[in-house]
Structure 1
Amino acid sequence: MNRLKELRQKKGDTQEVVAKAMGVTRRGYQKWENEESQIKPEKAQQLADYFGVSVGYLLGYSDVRFELEQIEKAIKNRLIDSESTINKDVFENTLKIVELARFLDLDLDTITSLYFYNCEISKVKTLNDLFDFFDSEAHGYMELLSIVEPYQADEIIQEISKLGDYNEQLSLYLDKVRSEEDFFHTNEPPNNVVKIKRIENTLSDKEVMALPPEERKEYLRKVFRQINDALSSLTVNIDDVIETVSKEQLDSLSNNLIKALAKLNDIKNKD
């Protein structure tokens, strides 16, 4: 599935605007966007240049938003001295960070700014370092905002908002990663950690009720055997366990047990 609609909406263009830029009718562009007709290679490249992405990303068969040549060209265009060359080590480091932060889907201007930040201010080595980069860029735009003409303010405000969105997405992502690592990947788990086996292949309420009575009973026996096994896998000394279990784990266990018992009671009443 191509990304034409997504890219067009991000750019804030109408179908008419893009169609005119491509030299085709609005209906012709609609067919591309709705995948009713194939985009010829030369038009795909024209569209990719228009949206500033790689052809593979535009057509949906690659998650690589920008080719190396596009990033290099954007950096060279921002070099003050046309004779200057790109610092290879800094460039490679920038690409590594961009790859780590692929979930942010950084735009070309931000990637270019990241390269110069790495060159001139501080080298970004981890995802956490990106917070300082985003803050630095936002601060620079805030200073610009105080001196530009009013008609230029909207564009700067959009850039500040974009950096704020990146910051928020990064924070949410890292919080999720830390939470998963804390729960599943502790290097030295406590002796009394709760280990509950996951119950696999469970059916929805509707699917359970659709089973013939005998199959339903057999299914319930199987599920509750699994629940029993999961509970029996807890450590023997439950008092010590409770001290090491988080409130979230206890709430989750309690809720699952209540739901399971409620479902059993409901099914028994219906039978």
Structure 2
Amino acid sequence: MSELSVKNKTRIKQIRIEQNISQAEVAKSIGVNLRTYQRWESGEANIRQRNANELAKYFKVPLGYLLGYDADFLTNESEIGFDWVDEFFSNILTQKQIDKLKLTISNTDFLKHNEYIHSLNPESDFLSFLNSAKGDYFNLNLKFTLLDDEEKNIILTLLEKLTKQ
């Protein structure tokens, strides 16, 4: 089992205190003994990947934030600022599709995508990437992503029939 070498960098204690939860309660909830949990919190021991994932789920925070990799944790739409979604996609999506996209973004680790794109090109960010990707292929992919499973199956069946002609 892989261990994450994150001694003294995690936010485990900070998050636990902010959420007003005892060490014993956290340890019991994720299925480890109290001393093990205390060693993670104090930085005396490394956390296995599986346990780090459990802690992130328990605290309802992104794994990167829990482990100290992400500087900030945004908790709601207003903090992320979804105005850009309406502006950016208003010409290619319906309002229903835009609302679905906002929900999808709020359920993903938006910051990780932004940091990844920035790591590839320090002059870029997620919004710049999206802006440069605008085009027919991008629009088609985006709209397909927003379809429900039944609608996707209809499109795929149609494409399959067209390619056989």
Greater percentage in helix: 1
Give TM-score, length-normalised by structure 1. 0.26
Which entry has the higher C-alpha Rg, 1 or 2?
1
TM-score by length of 2: 0.42
- State the structure with bigger RCO (CA 8 A, min sep 6), 1 or 2: 2
